[in-house]
Amino acid sequence: MSRVRRSVWSEGPGWNETLIWYAKAVGVMTQRPVTERTSWRFLAGMHGYHEGHWRALGVLKPEETLPGGTELDMFWSKCQHGSWYFLPWHRGYLSAFEQIVLSAVVEAGGPQDWALPYWNYSSTAEPNARKVHPAFTAPNMPDGTPNPLYTRFRFGNSEAGEVILSDLDVDLGALSDSVYSRGWNTAGGFGGGGSATSHNAGQAGSLERTPHGNVHTAVGGAAELPGLGEVPGFMSLFETAGLDPLFWLHHANIDRLWEVWLKRDQKHRNPDDARWLGGPMDRPFVMPRPDGSEWHFASAEMVATDAPLLNYVYDDVSDPLVVTAGLTEGLVPPAHQGEVEAVDTQLIGTNGTEIRLGAGGATTEVAVDEQVLRRASEQMTEGPEAAAAAGAFFLTLESIRGLNNVAIYQVEVDYGAAGGELPSGEARAMILGSFSTFGLGEASALAEGNDGMTLTFDITKLVQRMGFDTEPNLDRLRVSIVPRSAARGIEPPTIGRVNIYQDTP
């Protein structure tokens, strides 16, 4: 019988068996040498590492050395971001971690069915959902011993060092994305753009953008530390994220949301593409087993969580959204659900120039193919079938580059109008969502072949709204990128292009 992953808040704010055993296991794993495959730091290094940063923060002691070259090459810095492998790689990573923790729990006399809890910060049923569970903020365990789940490198996003998650940070709009991947070069889809293995750049899927990225940045934050200057929190960087015990609960929730997405609509399918299922093509993903041996897998082995290899289920995969799935679903015939590039994606608007996100953000005008937009927006007022045939529309922020890994921005769009009003009274300006710059520094490393992050926002509802407007201004959209965190003394990020794409059958 599969083990059950439950919400960290399901047993209230106090310590419970699951968390106590988790803490004990983390305590055991942190004592293991960094070169041991089942140690806490080895597992964290698999997500990412930076030797200098690890030494500066005391993660690596001066006398310690990193694992050997072959070990590093095979295991470390292998997290997949900006890619359709983001979800399967992290599922395998979490599963390997969970099995190693379980092994430590059982060795210490704990339950055989221990499972990793998840942090459902988007829950509306749990009043404390957006707070970090107290078991992770208390310096000591109930017996007075130091708490391995606590870290001083979790700075939060407020002046007081608390984690404050807004509605935008935990927004679940990603669940409305009807397609897992839209292919290689344009808009991401739910799970990310098609790619070869991608550690740090490319087209992030909507789930990877929010809530994944936002929660990383909001939890990690950054702070001035004596002798170290400004230090990003563990969760703020690829290179340190896995060192925070909360990271694993965050990713368990992201993993759960993949299951929620699949179950909320039977048309939602994983890619039926050999390059994803059997991929990556040039190497297997590799994880350590509890006995230290290697476990190789491809994406296809990550699609069923209750299969013997993974052996877990979630206690709650119910649909948290009241609205039904997007307007685009009619575009993809049932026989092609899951097929990447079943629909073509065409550029219909661009701002044509790079913008720099200063202290106040930036505003840019996107010139759009007015005819396409007018035809589609009018079609969308003619009922669901016509709306589906009109296709979906996306705004992409292409090639976001910079060094600030700890910023969150909100994206607003406004199309203006010559006159008249919307019958519904809705505003012509719309907040599309938000994004964090988690991983931006790595994504901007040109020498490593990275051309920055590309993020996608669904604007289909905005186009539909235009159809109800009496005199909409359809030849250009005003797009504003507004910072939601204080500016830092780091060169501001740039956005290569702001583009509008249309899914067309």
Partner 1 sequence: MRKRHLRIVGAVAATSAAGWVVLLLGGPILLPVICGEGWTGVASVEAFVAVNGLPAVLAAHGVMVAAMMTPLLVPSLLSISDRVFARKRLPAMLAFSLGYAAFWLVFGSLLTVAHAVLSAALPNWQATAVATAGLCLVWHALPWRQRFLNRCHVERPLAGHGIVADATALTHGCRTAASCAGACAAPMLFAMACGPFVLPAMLAVAAFLWIERILPPERPGWGLGNHLRTARRIGYMARSWPRFTRHVWQRHGAARAHA
Catalog residues that contact partner 1 under the rule CB under 8 A: 69, 73, 77, 183-186, 195-198, 272, 274-275, 277-278, 281-284, 335, 341, 344-350, 352-354, 367, 369, 398-399, 446-451, 496-497, 499
Task: Name which of 205 and 349 has its Cβ closer to partner 1.
Answer: 349
Q: Alpha helix locations (H) across 48-173?
A: 51-56, 69-75, 86-107
Task: Name which of 442 and 469 has its Cβ closer to partner 1.
Answer: 442
How far apart are the C-alpha atoms of 244 and 152, rounded to whole Å? Answer: 10
162-to-10, 131, 198 alpha-carbon distances in Å: 22, 9, 32
If you search the block for the tokens 């942090």, which residue do you land on? Answer: 119
46 neighbors 242 (Cβ within 8 angstroms):
yes
Shortest Cβ distance from residue 195 to partner 1 (Å)? Answer: 8
What are the tokens at 325? 């799935």
How far apart are the C-alpha atoms of 324 and 258, rounded to whole Å? Answer: 17
Shortest Cβ distance from residue 450 to partner 1 (Å)? Answer: 7
Shortest Cβ distance from residue 284 to partner 1 (Å)? Answer: 7
494 neighbors 356 (Cβ within 8 angstroms):
yes
Shortest Cβ distance from residue 240 to partner 1 (Å)? Answer: 18
236 neighbors 255 (Cβ within 8 angstroms):
no
How far apart are the C-alpha atoms of 376 and 464, rounded to whole Å? Answer: 8
Query: Nearest CA to 186 among 493, 463, 457?
Result: 457
Task: Name which of 140 and 185 has its Cβ closer to partner 1.
Answer: 185
The separation between CA 505 and the C-alpha centre of its own chain, rounded to angstroms, equals 28
Task: Name which of 353 and 363 has its Cβ closer to partner 1.
Answer: 353
Shortest Cβ distance from residue 68 to partner 1 (Å)? Answer: 12
- Which amino acid is present at 265? D
Task: Name which of 198 and 253 has its Cβ closer to partner 1.
Answer: 198
464 neighbors 327 (Cβ within 8 angstroms):
yes
Task: Name which of 219 and 332 has its Cβ closer to partner 1.
Answer: 332
Shortest Cβ distance from residue 401 to partner 1 (Å)? Answer: 10
Shortest Cβ distance from residue 352 to partner 1 (Å)? Answer: 5
Task: Name which of 130 and 497 has its Cβ closer to partner 1.
Answer: 497
Task: Name which of 236 and 454 has its Cβ closer to partner 1.
Answer: 454
Per-residue DSSP letter, 463: H
389 neighbors 504 (Cβ within 8 angstroms):
no
Task: Name which of 148 and 280 has its Cβ closer to partner 1.
Answer: 280
Question: Is residue 13 helix, strand or coil?
Answer: coil
Shortest Cβ distance from residue 127 to partner 1 (Å)? Answer: 44
Shortest Cβ distance from residue 106 to partner 1 (Å)? Answer: 34
How far apart are the C-alpha atoms of 413 and 281, rounded to whole Å? Answer: 39
Shortest Cβ distance from residue 451 to partner 1 (Å)? Answer: 5
- Which amino acid is present at 194? G
How far apart are the C-alpha atoms of 314 and 379, rounded to whole Å? Answer: 40
If you search the block for the tokens 């990225």, which residue do you land on? Answer: 213
Task: Name which of 23 and 348 has its Cβ closer to partner 1.
Answer: 348
Question: Is residue 152 helix, strand or coil?
Answer: coil
* Bridge partners for 455 per DSSP: 397
How far apart are the C-alpha atoms of 118 and 9, rounded to whole Å? Answer: 9
H/E stretch holding 206: helix 206-207
The separation between CA 149 and the C-alpha centre of its own chain, rounded to angstroms, equals 22
Shortest Cβ distance from residue 229 to partner 1 (Å)? Answer: 25
Shortest Cβ distance from residue 96 to partner 1 (Å)? Answer: 20
How far apart are the C-alpha atoms of 218 and 209, rounded to whole Å? Answer: 13
How far apart are the C-alpha atoms of 245 and 18, rounded to whole Å? Answer: 13
16 neighbors 133 (Cβ within 8 angstroms):
no
